[in-house]
Amino acid sequence: MLMNLKHSMKLFISLALCLPLGGAEDVSGDLRRLIQEGRFIEAANRSDRLLTVNPSHPIALATKSQALSGFLDFDQALIFANKALQQNDQLSDAHLAKGIALMGLAIENISLKSMLQISQALDAIEVSTKRDPTYGYAWFTLGLSRGKLPLLLGGSKPLSFQCAQTLKKIDRAWGLALEGILQASFGTWKESESIFQEGLSLKSNTSLLVTAYLEALGGDEAKKALGVEGQKERLYEVAKTLLTKPDLNTHALESLGDALLSSDRPEEAWQLMQVSIPKFQESSLLKLQCAKISARTGIHLPEALELIEDALRGPIEGGSGGREGAYVRQGQILERLGKWMEAKKSFQQALEINPRHRGARENLERLRKKE
């Protein structure tokens, strides 16, 4: 049952960690803004500078935790979240940071312990909404969690939609994004698509709405409603329309690349990434998307290998699958290039980071059988 939640975690990181919602002004507001815009590397660097001056700075500790979750380093994220709570147990950002870290650990490490971690995560996120009822980030995270989790683990359709209604009062575009995701999850695709269209008409928070819309359109419920070929056609049609939206962030562009790839247009997906990478100082998400396109289709292998090697020299942004996921992509590309020994080394590096990484383990075992 929990295995089905791993895709939800990717959506969770891609969406919940890039919310451009309001918050308090000053340092706290600035740090929230960096996290909520998905600028994890900047947020981590800013937090580190503050913590050098004051190692007990609660908002810096909470922000560092959320940035680490953005890098999919949930163990360290939980440590920093707990440190933040030790300094200020009334800080909504710290409770949310703890909830995100616990949810990540639960879904990353499938076990009986996961059930307890999920319960603790939901409790922490709920506390965050109570500490600051205007904290849209927390309401979105709570609603997404309630909507994606099974009933036995705290999932609740009515409670998830209550979160969406509350969020619409704080930021209507983000509330509609959450409502659209939930409608798609619960099998009402037509209603979902209508809600996303309404959100896009507001012309605010466009990147989130693009990301959420394409994630939903690429999901199983849309496939059931549209059929396999109908889904591909609709993905391409919508992607081409959304490509015209200005100032899209890396998360939205990654989702557009996925939509083009899923609609059997890998070359268009590749070219979109190539045009977009130079526009961003932190572009690891887009470089890893190039690697994904290349690993799946075999196009532009040497160029993709250079891009992923460049990405691995710095921090890896979250929704891409973390550093271990980057090494797996590198291994897949090397294997396609016939460099089996180097490919094995990449899969082994992924397993050193995450010994439970199924893809790395299966690829390594398959290569060993070829020896």
Is it the case that residue 4 has pLDDT exceeding 80? Answer: no
* Euclidean distance between CA atoms 254 and 103, whole angstroms: 23
DSSP state of 153: G
Over range 107-134, report the average pLDDT. Answer: 85
| Per-residue pLDDT reduced to its tens digit, 221-236 | 899 999 999 999 999 9
Torsion over CA: 141, 147, 151, 152 (sign): negative
pLDDT single digits (tens) 213-267: 999 999 998 999 999 999 999 999 999 999 999 989 888 999 999 999 999 999 9
More confident residue, 142 or 18: 142
In percent, the amount of the chain with pLDDT more than 70 equals 90
CA dist 285 and 264 (Å) reads 21
Domains present along the chain, CATH in parentheses: 2-199+282-370 (1.25.40.10)
CB 307 within 8 A of CB 289: no
User: Which of the 8 DSSP states describes residue 320?
Assistant: G
- Mean predicted lDDT score pLDDT of the chain: 88
Q: Are 340 and 331 in contact (CB under 8 A)?
A: no
Distances (CA, A) of 345 to 182, 303, 310, 361: 41, 20, 17, 12
Q: Give me the sign of the Cα torsion angle 71, 74, 79, 80.
A: positive
- Residue 2: pLDDT over 70: no
Kindly state the tokens that stand for 289. 């998307």
Q: How much is the pTM? A: 0.84
Summarize the confidence of residues 125-147 as an average pLDDT: 93
d(CA 295, CA 302): 11
Residue 8 binned pLDDT confidence (cut-offs 50, 70, 90): low
Question: Which tokens belong to 209?
Answer: 């709405």
CB atoms within 10 A of CB 29: 14
Band the pLDDT of 153: cuts 50, 70, 90. Answer: confident
% pLDDT > 90, the chain:
64
pLDDT tens for 277-294 read 999 988 889 999 999 999
Q: What is the pLDDT of residue 282?
A: 84
| Residues contacting residue 240 through CB under 8 Å, at least 6 positions apart | none
Which range is least confidently modeled, 156-170, 224-238, 256-270, 356-370?
Answer: 356-370
Grade residue 26 by pLDDT with cuts at 50, 70 and 90. low
pLDDT band with cut points at 50, 70 and 90 for residue 151? confident
Mean pLDDT of 23-49: 77
At 172 the pLDDT is: 94
Question: What's residue 22's pLDDT?
Answer: 42
Token representation of residue 107 = 């879904």
Q: Say if CB 254 and CB 289 are below 8 A apart.
A: yes
pLDDT-based confidence at residue 112 (cuts at 50, 70, 90): low
* Rg, the chain, Cα only: 20
* Amino acid letter for position 331: G
pLDDT of residue 211: 93
**Is 29 in a helix, a strand, or coil?**
helix
Mean pLDDT of 68-79: 89
The conformational region for residue 88 under phi > 0 = left, psi -120 to 50 = alpha, else beta, is beta
pLDDT band at 57; cut points 50, 70, 90: very high
Average pLDDT over residues 61-80: 91
